[in-house]
């Protein structure tokens, strides 16, 4: 008998990311020491505060254009919560804060509460909160700006590099943040060395259409010149012998450049900088493509059940108690390619006195599973490890 087991991959396409901390804030005036940046510090008890004035405003420069999904505002909790009433939230690319289109108007926010306002993908570099009118004070205790990113294959994958300079870890090149405000916490960097490299493991084979690289803003943009982008399935020489997609001639400071890879197939994406006394610094690496490429694995499996395995409830119970579930693989469905074999004879168990204790129906069915999965390598690993499973190709 044949069954098909499908594993569903969770996409991060619709998971919004708070980008507010990636930018710099400013406001029209500052009352005492209640600075504009306090709305971005993650602390609802530290707030911004303008002087009393006409048309006070607070603005966030994200340093690059994003499609804004929503904006959240946290109001002050100590007093005067009505001061935020009728504030306008604007998103756009004009540095003149009053010129950008309005995302939403705040009717009111309860003291200490956080309200969310949908901006429906409005595009902009600047996010502004302003209150029209005379004798107004603008106070913001926290502002969030949420962006939905397209399908970046490098997201939440494993990155490593040939060496690490200080706290400039490899995974910071795939954390969404371009590192415009603090490179050391958002960019990767090797030590100075010969042929430094960085690699992301996509876990499965994809057809890579393009790779996007963001260079550092703070200094030294020329360090990336000559870096090779390589894609393939081999880890020979740490993956640096795989085929070349492109060679980076230069990227201006803080700029993201796109390199076309024409659907090259590979699991590993490497960036390697040939030469002596080199640093390799990457503030963001994005990988786009199609896949993963599907593979098949055959597994022989022996099952025992006292209920009909043709029933959907029993198949669900079987999966929930299987070694697959113990490995954390639970989002699966199980389907028979044909109905199970007929039940065997009813087996009676008797005690020493010959009285019938109970009866049960027992099936012992040997069957073949087709594991058709985007997660091919992990299934091969599991299939070799599971009790009562025999891996066959």
Q: What is the pLDDT along the chain (393 residues), one digit of tens a residue?
A: 334 443 334 444 457 889 999 999 999 999 999 999 999 999 999 999 999 999 999 999 999 899 999 999 999 999 999 999 999 999 999 988 789 999 999 999 999 999 999 999 999 999 999 999 999 999 999 999 999 887 899 988 999 999 999 999 999 999 988 888 777 888 999 999 999 999 999 999 999 999 999 999 999 999 999 999 999 999 999 999 999 999 999 999 999 999 999 999 999 999 999 999 999 999 999 999 998 886 544 444 555 556 666 666 776 776 666 665 555 555 555 555 555 554 443 333 434 444 433 333 333 333 333 333 333 344 433 433 333 333 332
pLDDT given for residue 250 in this prediction? 97
Cα–Cα distance, 185 to 179 (Å, whole number): 7
Q: Is residue 339 in some structural domain?
A: yes
Same domain, 362 and 319: yes
Q: Is residue 4 in some structural domain?
A: no
SS (H, E, C) 223-291: HHCCCEEEEECCCHHHHCCCEEEEECCCCCCCCEEEEEEEEEEEEEEEEECCCCCECCEECEEEEEEEC
Domain that holds residue 70: 16-148
CB atoms < 10 A from the CB of 218, how many?
16
Same domain, 250 and 207: yes
pLDDT given for residue 333 in this prediction? 56
pLDDT given for residue 295 in this prediction? 53
pLDDT given for residue 346 in this prediction? 37
Same domain, 190 and 251: yes
DSSP string, 280-345: -EESEEEEEEE-PPPEEEEEEEEEEESS-TTSHHHHHHHHHTSHHHHTT--SEEEEESSPPPPP--
Q: Is residue 8 in some structural domain?
A: no
pLDDT given for residue 322 in this prediction? 64
Same domain, 123 and 180: no
* Structural contact between residues 68 and 91, judged by C-beta atoms closer than 8 angstroms: yes
Counted domains in the chain: 3
Q: Is residue 9 in some structural domain?
A: no
CATH number assigned to the domain comprising residue 123: 2.60.120.260
Same domain, 253 and 377: no
Q: Is residue 2 in some structural domain?
A: no
β-strand partners of 5? 334, 371
Q: Is residue 5 in some structural domain?
A: no
Q: Is residue 10 in some structural domain?
A: no
What own/partner pairs with CB < 8 Å and gap ≥ 24 does 258-262 have? Answer: 258/210, 258/211, 258/212, 259/210, 259/211, 259/212, 259/213, 259/229, 260/209, 260/210, 261/208, 261/209, 261/210, 261/211, 261/229, 261/231, 261/289, 262/209
Tell me the pairing of strands 2-7 and 363-373.
Answer: parallel
pLDDT given for residue 176 in this prediction? 87
Q: Final residue of a domain: which of 290, 312, 342?
A: 290
pLDDT given for residue 368 in this prediction? 34
In degrees and rounded to multiples of 5, residue 60 shows phi and psi of -120, 125
Q: Final residue of a domain: which of 248, 274, 290?
A: 290
Same domain, 374 and 339: yes
Q: Is residue 11 in some structural domain?
A: no
pLDDT given for residue 182 in this prediction? 79
SS3 of 384, please? helix
Burial of 102 (0-12, 13-18, 19+ CB in 10 A): middle
Same domain, 283 and 322: no
Quick one: CA torsion of 161, 162, 164, 165, rounded to 10 degrees? -120
Q: Final residue of a domain: which of 264, 290, 316?
A: 290
pLDDT given for residue 303 in this prediction? 57
Same domain, 72 and 141: yes
Same domain, 72 and 135: yes
Same domain, 200 and 286: yes
Question: pTM, whole model, 2 decimals?
Answer: 0.64
Same domain, 166 and 79: no
Same domain, 285 and 303: no
């Amino acid at each position: 008998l044949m069954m098909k087991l499908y594993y569903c991959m969770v996409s991060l396409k619709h998971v919004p990311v708070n980008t507010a901390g990636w930018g710099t804030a400013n406001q029209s005036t500052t009352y005492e020491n209640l600075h504009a940046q306090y709305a971005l510090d993650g602390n609802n008890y530290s707030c911004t505060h303008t002087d009393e004035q006409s048309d006070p405003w607070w603005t966030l420069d994200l340093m690059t254009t994003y499609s804004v999904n929503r904006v959240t505002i946290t109001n002050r909790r100590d007093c005067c919560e009505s001061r935020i009433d009728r504030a306008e939230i604007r998103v756009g690319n004009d540095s003149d804060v009053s010129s950008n289109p309005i995302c939403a108007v705040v009717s009111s926010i309860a003291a200490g509460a956080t309200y969310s306002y949908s901006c429906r993908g409005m595009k902009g570099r600047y996010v502004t909160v302003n209150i029209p009118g005379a004798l107004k004070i603008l106070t913001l205790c926290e502002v969030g700006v949420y962006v939905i990113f397209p399908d970046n294959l490098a997201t939440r994958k494993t990155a490593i590099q040939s060496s690490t300079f200080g706290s400039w870890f490899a995974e910071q090149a795939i954390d969404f943040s371009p590192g415009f405000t603090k490179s050391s916490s958002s960019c990767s960097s090797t030590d100075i060395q010969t042929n430094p490299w960085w690699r992301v493991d996509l876990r499965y084979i994809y057809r890579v259409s393009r790779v996007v690289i963001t260079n550092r803003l703070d200094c030294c943009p020329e360090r990336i010149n000559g870096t090779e982008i390589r894609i393939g399935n081999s880890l020979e020489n740490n993956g640096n012998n795989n085929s070349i997609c492109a060679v980076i001639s230069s990227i201006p400071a803080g700029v993201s450049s796109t390199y076309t890879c024409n659907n090259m197939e590979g699991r590993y994406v490497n960036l390697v900088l040939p030469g002596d006394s080199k640093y390799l610094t990457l503030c963001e690496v994005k990988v786009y493509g199609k896949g993963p490429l599907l593979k098949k694995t055959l597994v022989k499996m022996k099952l025992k059940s006292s209920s009909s395995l043709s029933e959907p409830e029993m198949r669900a119970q079987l999966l929930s108690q299987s070694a697959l579930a113990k490995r954390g693989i639970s989002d699966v469905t199980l389907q028979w390619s044909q109905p199970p074999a007929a039940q065997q004879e009813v087996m009676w168990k008797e005690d020493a006195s010959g009285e019938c204790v109970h009866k049960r129906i027992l099936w012992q069915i040997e069957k073949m599973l087709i594991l058709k999965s985007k997660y091919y390598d992990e299934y091969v690993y599991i299939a070799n490890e599971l009790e009562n499973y025999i891996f066959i190709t």
